[in-house]
Amino acid sequence: MERIVIGDFQHGYNSHDEPHGILETQASAIQNIDLSARGVSKTRGGTAYLNSTEIASGAGIFGAGYLKSKHWAAALTGVYALATGTYTAFKTGLTANSEVFGTEFESYGFFANGVDAPFTYDGSSSAAMSGTPSCWTTYKPNMFLKHENRLWGLTCSTSQLDWCDVETPTDWTTKDKAGTHQFNKNDGYTGIGIASQKSGLIYFKQKSIHKVTGKTPVSFSFPTLYDTIGCVAARTIVNYNNRIFFLSEHEGYYKVIILGDDGSITETNEDIQPTLSLINTTTANKSAAVIYKDKYRLSYPLSAGGWGVVNLNFKTGRWEVDSGNAGKCYYVQGASCYAGGTGDGYVRQIETGTSDAGSVAITSYVRSKRYQLLAPELHKELKYMIVWTKASGSYNLNVNIRVDGKLVPGTYAVPLGTKGTTETMRRATIPINAKVRGGLIDVQFGTSTVDQPFELYKAILYYEMPKGFVKD
């Protein structure tokens, strides 16, 4: 009897190569699955509402975070303090649906959106900023960043960077203490975002990357690191262990790039390049990302509508695909991570529980590579499959088998666990007894019922060739 060993997906998702050409340790399709370095496939965690009452129905969340000991979110024309189940406005009258960024510095929250005057928040009310540059009267800053005990303001439209005096966010104009600099202001591209590294502040434009080095304004220098690589979306810029992750576009291809503190560049997503080609090029600048539980989680608008999510798993160094954790913005507070709604006025905690929004089933599956069957022209019989799984409920893990891309008729399921018991690994044998003809076979494992996650360790499929068949 012949056998095919399936189930070790430790090298993640590969949409770049044909399903029969990928590694045996890669998946040809995957959704809502966490992968471990040991190759274990596990349904991702669920989501739960932070504000159970929606802010501005259908508008989406245009900024969110945590500062002054409060969760906050921007929607339509306001910025709101959130509590479990409710929200209260502390700023109104903003330009509708403008992207709002907030950061905490010197006991205040500082907010900007690129179109309205920047403002502060003390934990109870908002106020106009004071001592700001005169140019902000015409060209409003888009965001602020704390770096080297200063607050830095980015104005995208003018490719400008302003900085205040040390620990003095009310002084943006005193010579040799505060100042301003423009990066390649006539190159035709706008500023995108800023990030902090140990060696300096990084300034991203659409098609270039720059750096600010030095400790005082008189010693600042502004070298260009790259003049052909840039960033497409401010919210994809995330610092992790002094390495900056961001989404870039070059010659029509979207790439997740890592910028090291030494200025080195690493590209990460060759295996999923076709997946990222689905990004909506018109609204790619709305993409967002977060690093949480050892994953860079990238959310992006799709050309076909809706949103996609891919995760770079640091434990495996490989990519996964997600469908329920999309966000227009993300932030981490303590041990929890939150996502702003892409088309509604909710902020959701992600990776919590076993269903989405407390009641929506998480459809999760992982599909193997296409394995070669002996003698494609001959009928052979798929006899049975042995599967090693782990779960805590008395439900089934659905199994789909395809030969040459066609579904093998029949219902195949792995009984998982025993209700009421603790999670333990289980070995189950599934009878198949199906006659097939073809050359390539793949197997998909998954669930689509509320509160029915699973872990898959390994599977072995056995099949029998016709009597008299002699293997070469």
Distance, CA of 120 to CA of 427 (rounded, Å): 59
Q: Considering the domain boundaries, does residue 289 fall inside one?
A: yes
Q: What's the pLDDT at 271?
A: 82
* 346 shares its domain with 371: no
Query: Higher pLDDT residue, 421 or 89?
Result: 89
* 7 shares its domain with 60: no
Contact present, 247 and 255 (Cβ < 8 Å):
yes
Q: Considering the domain boundaries, does residue 142 fall inside one?
A: yes
Domain that holds residue 343: 47-350
Q: Considering the domain boundaries, does residue 357 fall inside one?
A: no
* 128 shares its domain with 241: yes
Q: Considering the domain boundaries, does residue 471 fall inside one?
A: no
* 336 shares its domain with 451: no
* 95 shares its domain with 125: yes
Q: What's the pLDDT at 420?
A: 45
What is the CATH number for 293? 2.130.10.10
Residues in contact with 68: Cβ distance below 8 Å, sequence separation at least 6, in sequence order: 104, 108, 109, 121, 122, 123
- Which residue type, as a one-letter code, is found at position 157? S
* 286 shares its domain with 407: no
Q: From residue 148, give the alpha-carbon distance in Å to each of 118, 179, 223, 365.
A: 21, 14, 18, 46
Count of Cβ atoms closer than 10 Å to residue 214 Cβ: 13
* 178 shares its domain with 298: yes
Count of Cβ atoms closer than 10 Å to residue 204 Cβ: 29
- Written as six digits, the tokens of 371 are 């394995």
Distance, CA of 169 to CA of 146 (rounded, Å): 10
Q: What's the pLDDT at 391?
A: 66
**Cα atoms in the 13 Å half-sphere on the side-chain side of 413:** 11
pLDDT tens per residue across span 14-24: 888 899 999 88
Contact present, 309 and 323 (Cβ < 8 Å):
yes
Q: What's the pLDDT at 424?
A: 65
| CA quadruple 265, 156, 343, 61: dihedral sign | positive
Confidence at 110, pLDDT banded by 50, 70, 90:
very high
Distance, CA of 428 to CA of 191 (rounded, Å): 56
Nearest to 285 by CA among 324, 321, 231, 322: 231
Q: Tell me the pTM.
A: 0.90
Query: Higher pLDDT residue, 141 or 393?
Result: 141
Confidence at 35, pLDDT banded by 50, 70, 90:
confident
User: Considering the chain, what is the average pLDDT of its residues?
Assistant: 91
Q: Considering the domain boundaries, does residue 469 fall inside one?
A: no
Q: What's the pLDDT at 329?
A: 98
* 66 shares its domain with 161: yes
Q: Is 117 exposed, middle or buried (0-12, 13-18, 19+ CB in 10 A)?
A: middle
- Written as six digits, the tokens of 50 are 């932070």
Distance, CA of 33 to CA of 310 (rounded, Å): 11
Domain end call among 350, 373, 388: 350
Q: What's the pLDDT at 419?
A: 43
- Written as six digits, the tokens of 455 are 């872990």
Q: Considering the domain boundaries, does residue 442 fall inside one?
A: yes
What is the CATH number for 16? 2.60.120
Length of the chain: 472
Domain end call among 285, 319, 350: 350
* 26 shares its domain with 75: no
**C-alpha of 377 from chain center:** 44
- Written as six digits, the tokens of 165 are 């005096």
Q: Considering the domain boundaries, does residue 396 fall inside one?
A: yes
* 208 shares its domain with 329: yes
Domain end call among 298, 327, 350: 350
* 221 shares its domain with 253: yes
Q: Considering the domain boundaries, does residue 255 fall inside one?
A: yes
Residues in contact with 382: Cβ distance below 8 Å, sequence separation at least 6, in sequence order: 401, 408, 432, 433, 434, 435, 436, 461, 462, 463
Distance, CA of 342 to CA of 356 (rounded, Å): 15
pLDDT tens per residue across span 340-369: 999 999 999 999 988 888 788 898 899 999
Q: What's the pLDDT at 463?
A: 96
In 307-380, which residue ranges form alpha helices assigned H by DSSP? none
Q: How many domains does the chain have?
A: 2
* 300 shares its domain with 395: no
Distance, CA of 350 to CA of 436 (rounded, Å): 42
Count of Cβ atoms closer than 10 Å to residue 26 Cβ: 24
Q: What's the pLDDT at 388?
A: 86
Distance, CA of 168 to CA of 55 (rounded, Å): 34
Residues in contact with 468: Cβ distance below 8 Å, sequence separation at least 6, in sequence order: none
pLDDT tens per residue across span 284-332: 999 999 999 999 999 999 999 999 999 998 988 888 888 878 999 999 9
Count of Cβ atoms closer than 10 Å to residue 187 Cβ: 13
- Written as six digits, the tokens of 89 are 């406005």
Q: What's the pLDDT at 417?
A: 57
Distance, CA of 35 to CA of 61 (rounded, Å): 29
Output the CA angle 351-70-358, nearest 5 degrees. 30
Confidence at 392, pLDDT banded by 50, 70, 90:
low
